[in-house]
Amino acid sequence: MNNEITKATAPNTTDEFIKGLWKENPVFVQVLGMCPVLAVSNTAVNALAMGLATAFVLIMSNSLVSMLRNFIPKEVRIASYILIIATFVTMIDYAIQAISVDLHKNLGAFISLIVVNCLILSRAEAFASKNTLTKSIMDALGMGLGFTLGLVSLGMVREILGSGSIFGIAILPDTFQEWVIMILPAGGFFTLAAWLLVFNLYKQKRNAL
Amino acid sequence: MNQESFSQIFINAALVNNFVLAYFLGICPFLGVSGKINTAGKMGGAVTFVMLISSMCAYGIHAFLEAIDAPFLQLISYIVVIASTVQLVEMFVKKMSPALFQALGIFLPLITTNCAILGLALFQTNKGYDFFQSVTYAFGAGTGFTLALLLMAGLREQLDFAEVPKVIRGTVLTLVAAGILSLAFMGFSGLGS
């Protein structure tokens, strides 16, 4: 490894990683791929599994798109990206079914629906098709982890308030009256709104300084 | 084979299990295009049309893939059919009404990545609907999507005149409104069962 090259590119690639986690977080800042975020975040476990599955597809598709970026004709690029994504989603769909049938049942059609997650297509189009393999993988890692982080933080709030437990382990005393609404669809909208509000307040405070 | 009647399927897809408010499918255009009632209605029409076509195609593809014993190709073939249908609708709208084409903007090609359409194709396969049941399901889902979009647009047009703190404006306010709308739609549960 040439040390000078590593030094020159290192801050760049780390930046690509960090920006997905925080500055351009797909859930809280970009508000992309909302359908799975709202639908499967009713428990923390579902949210984590969904986040990791999406991250896997994102990393694989980003690296393949980046490797093939000079071969794919411009006119059919979106169609090619979708085909690449669909292939990896089929793979993860069968993999999850093999690992845990219960989990597959809980997530339902939403694993297949990773295909149409705008986040993955937008990363392929906006980033991987223009950047080198290493950068694209770092970008996908950051975005994927950022997405997982968003999903889990939503899932934890909904699970704690909705069933008094976290990752399936009861943490609140029996006397706690569960907020059933948090498990229901409406709870998803409200929780996401609350998180976005927190982020907006934080941003406003920082801009005021 | 599923034995539900047509009216049951329709009410179920349009109201009880509304795609947007109960299944969270198609949230992106729901949040993006629901600013004005006029555009929302036309967007709903376009989505319903794509849903009808892709539902019919999905039925055919499913039967074919069953015949050649290749279920793992299901997802890939569905998405290709949907993408082509959307392309067709896009060309049609561009030719017939350039103004509408402008108004829908980026959200028209994005119908391809509208989960509601792929979700519809997957659900109808899972539920084992026959051809006419599938079409009814697609029509119900499209109606439900349009209804949710129109209601949301109505709400948002009113909210534009409301005095709210600056932090809540935009996505946060829209999400809260969507949550309340979703609560209202829960009142339909039990209907059509």
Cα dist from A187 to A5, A97, A180, B160, whole Å: 49, 28, 9, 24
pLDDT in tens, B5-54: 888 888 888 888 888 888 888 887 777 777 788 888 888 888 898 899 88
Residues of A with Cβ-Cβ distance to B167 under 8 angstroms:
197, 200-201, 204
b/e burial code for range B153-188 (CB count within 10 A of at least 16 → b): bebbeeeeeeeeeebbeebbbbbbbbbebbbebbeb
- Taking the CB of residue B193, how many other CB atoms lie within 10 A of it? 9
Q: What is the DSSP letter of A42?
A: T
Q: Is B115 on the interface with A (CB under 8 A)?
A: yes
What are the structure tokens assigned to B193, written together?
Answer: 């069962």
Q: What percent of chain B has pLDDT over 90?
A: 14
CB-CB contact of A189 with A154 (8 Å): no
Tell me the pLDDT band of A1, cut-offs 50, 70 and 90.
very low
| In the predicted structure, residue A7 carries a pLDDT above the cut 50 | no
Provide the 3-class DSSP secondary structure of residue A131: coil
Instruction: Report how far residue A144's alpha carbon sits from residue A155's, in angstroms, rounded to the nearest whole number.
Output: 16
The token pair at B180 is: 């309340």
Mean pLDDT, rounded, of chain B: 85
CA of B99 vs chain A CAs: smallest distance (Å): 25
DSSP state of A58: H
- Distance, in Å, from the CA atom of B53 to the CA atom of B138, rounded to the nearest integer, reads 9
Phi, psi of A129 (to 5 degrees): -75, -5
pLDDT reported for residue B192: 62
pLDDT of residue B1: 54
Q: How far apart are CA A80 and CA A86, in angstroms?
A: 10
CB A9 within 8 A of CB A159: no
Instruction: Using CB atoms, pick whichever of A35, A118, A197 lies closest to residue B25.
Output: A35
| DSSP of A144-167 | HHHHHHHHHHHHHHHHHHHHSEET
Per-domain residue ranges for chain B? 6-184
Query: Which structure tokens are listed for A82?
Result: 């979708």
At residue A144, the pLDDT reads 92
Rounded to a whole number, what is the distance in Å from the CA of B166 to chain A's nearest CA? 9
Per-residue confidence at A4, pLDDT binned at 50, 70, 90?
very low
- Residues of chain B positioned with their CB less than 8 A from the CB of A197: 167-168, 172
Give me Rg for the CA atoms of chain B.
17
Would you list the domain boundaries of chain A?
14-158
pLDDT tens digits for range A17-68: 887 777 778 888 777 777 788 888 888 888 999 999 999 999 999 999 999 9
Query: Do the Cβ atoms of B176 and A190 come closer than 8 Å?
Result: yes
pLDDT tens for A129-171 read 888 899 899 989 999 999 999 999 999 999 888 888 888 788 7
Mean pLDDT of B54-81: 88
B193 and chain A in contact, CB less than 8 A: no
Q: What DSSP state is assigned to residue B115?
A: H
ipTM for the whole complex: 0.82
Residues in chain B with CB shorter than 8 Å from the CB of A95 are none
Model pLDDT for residues A67-78, shown as the tens digit of each residue: 998 888 887 888
Residue pair B21/B185 in contact (Cβ under 8 Å)? The answer is yes
Tokens representing A148 are: 């997982």
Helix (H) or strand (E) holding B156: helix B131-159
Of A119-123, A204-208, B149-153, the range with the highest mean pLDDT is B149-153
Q: Is the pLDDT of residue A5 over 50?
A: no
- Cα torsion A119, A84, B74, A76 to 10°: value is 90
Least CB–CB distance from B126: residue in A109, A192, A197: A109
A21 vs B177: which has the higher pLDDT: B177
The answer to whether B143 and B120 are in contact (CB under 8 A) is no
List phi, psi (to 5°) of A101: -70, -35
pLDDT score of A95: 92
Q: What is the dihedral of CA A191, A196, A202, A206, to 10 degrees?
A: 180
Q: B37, B157 in Cβ contact below 8 A?
A: yes
Q: Which two tokens stand for residue A27?
A: 């859930």
DSSP 8-state code for residue B162 = S
A20 vs A193, more confident: A193
- Whether the CB of B122 is below 8 Å from some CB of chain A: the reply is yes
Q: CB-CB: which of B110, B118, B179 is closest to A193?
A: B179
Residue A10 has pLDDT above 80, yes or no: no
Please, where are the H alpha helices in chain A? 3-21, 34-39, 44-67, 77-99, 101-107, 118-123, 133-163, 185-208
The CB density around residue A47, as the number of other CB atoms within 10 Å, is 26
Write out chain B residues lying below 8 Å of A181, CB-based. 183
Q: CB-based contacts of A36: which residues, under 8 Å, 6+ apart?
A: A50, A54, A110, A113, A114, A117, A151, B24
Instruction: Check CB contact under 8 Å for B110 and A118.
Output: yes
**pLDDT tens readout for residues B101-110:** 887 776 777 7
Distance CA B49, CA B61 (A): 18
B169 three-state secondary structure: coil
Q: Is A183 on the interface with B (CB under 8 A)?
A: no
The band of A3, judged by pLDDT with boundaries at 50, 70 and 90, is: very low
Stretch B165-170: mean pLDDT, rounded?
A: 81
Of the listed ranges A117-121, B102-106, B143-147, the one predicted with least confidence:
B102-106
**Predicted confidence band at B55 (pLDDT cuts at 50, 70, 90)?**
very high
